Amino acid sequence: MLTIKELRENRGLSQTEFAKKMAVSLRTVQNWEANQDKIPMDKLVKIYKELESDLPKIESIIHKSKTEFKPEITGYYYPNVAAAAGMDKEMQNDELKRIPINLPNWEKGIDFINVYGDSMYPKFCSGEIIGIKEVELQYLNYGFAYVVILKDGQVLLKFIKKGSDKDHIILESENKFYESKEYHLDQVKKVFIIKGVITKTTM
């Protein structure tokens, strides 16, 4: 299939003439021709129609929009789940409400949950949404924030620090009102690294 530039040139239109025909700026046309894959699908179909492309080519574009241009899902947001007791059980419930979301520049396979409480304030604030991804214990980076699920059911959003030996870790709050506590690795069920935060001002 011919590119927009090839179709434009075949019809003897300059970039300026084509920009006027499409009621856009010259810069927009230049951007379109430099990176055609970034053009919104409805706009791309309109362009081909304006350039008098035949129907099969238009249908080919629409078909491509349903396959190659379909947005990938970043992960799922669990609106009823927070970094609080019971999170692990709730997230594995197949009947739990979850919302697929797509966020540009985020890696895939992330779960999004709510922050509850003030133990990590102001690093993480109650009401924010955090993107989390499970990691193995051997890949922990000390000094970073994690969601830690203990085998007794507790779910803690804390900084992980080195413990008294290789078999222990210390969970520390940002809010100094809360005391740090040491745990044996055998007490830990799952650990999730924080991949990003969606604040109230960005929602």
Q: Which single residue is written with the structure tokens 């520390």?
A: 172
Answer whether CATH 1.20.1260 is correct for domain 4-67.
no
For residues 67 and 199, the model is more confident at 199
pLDDT at 167: 94
pLDDT at 190: 92
Give residue-wise pLDDT tens across range 154-163: 888 999 999 9
Phi, psi for residue 188 in degrees, rounded to 5? -90, 130
pLDDT band at 198 (very low <50, low <70, confident <90, very high): confident
CB 84 within 8 A of CB 116: yes
pLDDT at 202: 47
Give residue-wise pLDDT tens across range 109-130: 899 988 888 888 888 888 889 9
Predicted structure pTM score? 0.58
pLDDT at 85: 41
Where in the chain are the domains? 4-67, 75-198
Phi, psi for residue 155 in degrees, rounded to 5? -125, 120
pLDDT at 54: 44
Distance of alpha carbon 42 from alpha carbon 50, whole angstroms: 12
Q: Which fold has domain 75-198?
A: Umud Fragment, subunit A (2.10.109)
